[in-house]
Chain A
Amino acid sequence: MDWRPTASRAALARRAEILALIREHFAAQGVLEVDTPLLGLAAAGDPALSSFRVELHGSPRYLQTSPEYAMKRLLAAGSGDVYQICKAFRDEEDGPLHRPEFTLLEWYRLGFDHHALMDDVAALLARVLPGLALERATFAALARRCGAPDPHLARDEELAAWAAALGFRASAGEATDRLLLLDLLLSEVVRRAWPPGQGGFVYDFPVGQAAYARIRPGSPPIASRFELIVDGVELANGWHELGDGAGQRARHAAEDAVRRARGQAPRAPDPRLLAALDHGLPDCAGVALGVDRLVMLATGARELGAVLAFGADWT
């Protein structure tokens, strides 16, 4: 039986150093470290995420896919700036860059918009990966760089033609599913917008990919969301949070509609989250960053097992 670690002692030491750097970064700015439950009443709202279902005395509970719900309740209760380093669990995710159980760094800054939060992410990255210059460009500009249509303005048929030329095999009825094509476009930007070893922020998304970001009205309207990509790896996802409870409820309902359209089981929203959102979320921006991936990039590893003490125990 292979019981030994999959990471070297040196990689584990680097990992510990990076965790210390992260804590230093937030301590210096007075951001409070918090620790919220991993076991919750509700499964993830995102139709693309699959939560692990467990049982408590025979009734269902779910391992959290991120600490978002609990952290938003803290924010609504007046916690101020908070950060958390915790495990997150996502079923059906495994591979060189995915683990069903992984370490997430999630934080929220009051009074920040997505640009101010990108500054903060860049400052943190500078501690861990000094010398790495991070470009900032809109999703539309990076799509152009990749020879792809404009994610906001292109017609569904243009997106479909681009995807087909790329080798996308749509199944029946999905050839012009705009949201699907935009997700494909984003995956191409992740892969090709920057050469190996380089990276940056992609920001300002179409409203269909808003998640829980604020939408700036206009023509087209723009979602204040960003992603951090380094060396072709998606490292962080953040946005200027929707402020009001009604807006958040509407997004949950929209996710549920997508789930129903795809034939997935409906998921009850977290009642405590909804109550907190009705009470009111302060103006803030939040981001989640994959710590295992960050350590992987910092050590030059090509897959997560090399930076996890036991990176294959789930197999």
Chain B
Amino acid sequence: MASYSTNQFKPGLKIMLDGDPCNIVENEMVKPGKGQAFNRVKVRNLLTGRTIERTFKSGDTVEGADVVDMEMQYLYTDGNEWHFMNPSTFEQLQTNAQVMGEAAQWLKGQEMCSVTLFNGSPIAVTPPNFVVLRITKTDPGVRGDTATGGTKPATMETGAVVRVPLFIEEGSLLKIDTRTGEYVSRAKEE
């Protein structure tokens, strides 16, 4: 893998730190009028998800991380493993609940996801920003109440629980933002 000098640092660059692949979130060059320059970076550990701050002497080099994001189609889960397919090569791969994390609760099948591979193995799955899911369970809708701003929990067909406005009925299709886990709008039947 290539190594990178601090002057190549920029958000999105993947580097190895303490043996873990990390993504640079922020990079600030600190160059005083007199003396040594430093790069102060915020990096997210791609295995743990934790964001940490690191400072490097400007000009130092670090090893790059062999991390790629691949667009893959989610196929199904057997409860232990989640199966994905590369739609152009039809190559398949499997991953587990730990790697799936929060993503699992938004997927029912066929969705295009971004699968992050480190040295060829999946380490993270990012679902589409928006998904459309049907409500399987919620309290009866309060008719006409579109203005009070109250919410109630609703269980979706994938098991995810989302706060929805009071007027929403069981069986409705909803558009949900997977980044925030929030209700966006009602969706039309296809």
Q: How far is the CA of A169 from the CA of B62 in the complex (A)?
A: 10
- B121 contacts the other chain (Cβ, under 8 Å)? no
The smallest C-beta distance from A190 to any residue of chain B, in angstroms, reads 7
Instruction: Find the B residue at minimum CB distance from A181.
Output: B36
Contact between B35 and A186, CB atoms less than 8 A apart: yes
Contact between A46 and B34, CB atoms less than 8 A apart: yes
The smallest C-beta distance from A136 to any residue of chain B, in angstroms, reads 19
Interface size range on A against B = 20 to 34
Contact between A183 and B32, CB atoms less than 8 A apart: yes
Contact between A186 and B57, CB atoms less than 8 A apart: no
The smallest C-beta distance from B32 to any residue of chain A, in angstroms, reads 6
Contact between A180 and B33, CB atoms less than 8 A apart: no
Contact between B38 and A167, CB atoms less than 8 A apart: no
B56 CB contact (under 8 Å) in A46, A92, A169, A211: A169
Question: Could you say which residues of chain A place their CB within 8 Å of the CB of B48?
Answer: none
- B179 contacts the other chain (Cβ, under 8 Å)? no
Chain B contact residues: helix, strand, loop or mixed: strand
A-B contact count (CB 8 A): 62
Question: Could you say which residues of chain B place their CB within 8 Å of the CB of A237?
Answer: 33-34
Q: How far is the CA of A168 from the CA of B57 in the complex (A)?
A: 8
Number of interface residues of B (CB under 8 A): 21
Q: How far is the CA of A234 from the CA of B28 in the complex (A)?
A: 15
**Residues in A172-186 with C-beta less than 8 Å from chain B:** 174, 179-180, 182-184, 186
Give residues in B with beta carbon < 8 Å to A: 7, 17, 28-38, 52-57, 60, 62
27 A-B pairs with C-beta separation under 8 A: A93-B31, A95-B28, A95-B29, A95-B31, A163-B55, A166-B55, A167-B52, A168-B55, A168-B56, A169-B17, A169-B54, A170-B57, A179-B35, A179-B36, A183-B35, A184-B36, A184-B38, A186-B32, A186-B35, A187-B30, A190-B32, A209-B34, A209-B35, A227-B33, A234-B32, A237-B33, A290-B33
Give residues in A with beta carbon < 8 Å to B: 46, 48, 92-93, 95, 98, 163, 166-171, 174, 179-180, 182-184, 186-187, 190-191, 209, 211, 227, 234, 237, 288, 290
